[in-house]
Amino acid sequence: MFRLPPRSALSSSSAASDVYKRQEFVYVKESAYPLVYKRTGKDETIYIVLNPSGQDVECDAQIPQHAQSVYSNNGEAAYADGKWKVPAASATFLKVEN
């Protein structure tokens, strides 16, 4: 049987709700990669760049050029020639201080 969470968990002041309010997609193209979204905290913003495809890709996502990589798996997204270059089958987390 499926049970709904208590109404208090759905309020706009709940911790889970606050997390979702602080994240947004910043680069999404239909049937294309990479996917880029950001999570904003009090002191920093983290951009998550995901490319599950088998090919290297480029995008013009609005990520600050000075963003610092704090985690990568199977290659690292890098800014060059006005675009973000994202290796195939990779994930990169980029941090910007607020």
2-11 pLDDT, tens per residue?
555 565 555 5
Give the residue-averaged pLDDT of 65-81. 96
In this structure, how many other beta carbons lie within 10 angstroms of the beta carbon of residue 74? 11
pLDDT one-digit tens code per residue, 42-60: 899 999 999 999 999 999 9
Question: What span, in angstroms and rounded, lies between the C-alpha atoms of 4 and 27?
Answer: 32
Share of the chain above pLDDT 90, in %: 64
Instruction: Indicate the DSSP class of residue 22.
Output: T
Q: Please, where are the H alpha helices in 1-98?
A: 15-21
Global pTM reads: 0.77
Q: pLDDT at residue 65 above 90?
A: yes
The answer to whether the bond into 34 is cis (omega within 30° of 0) is yes
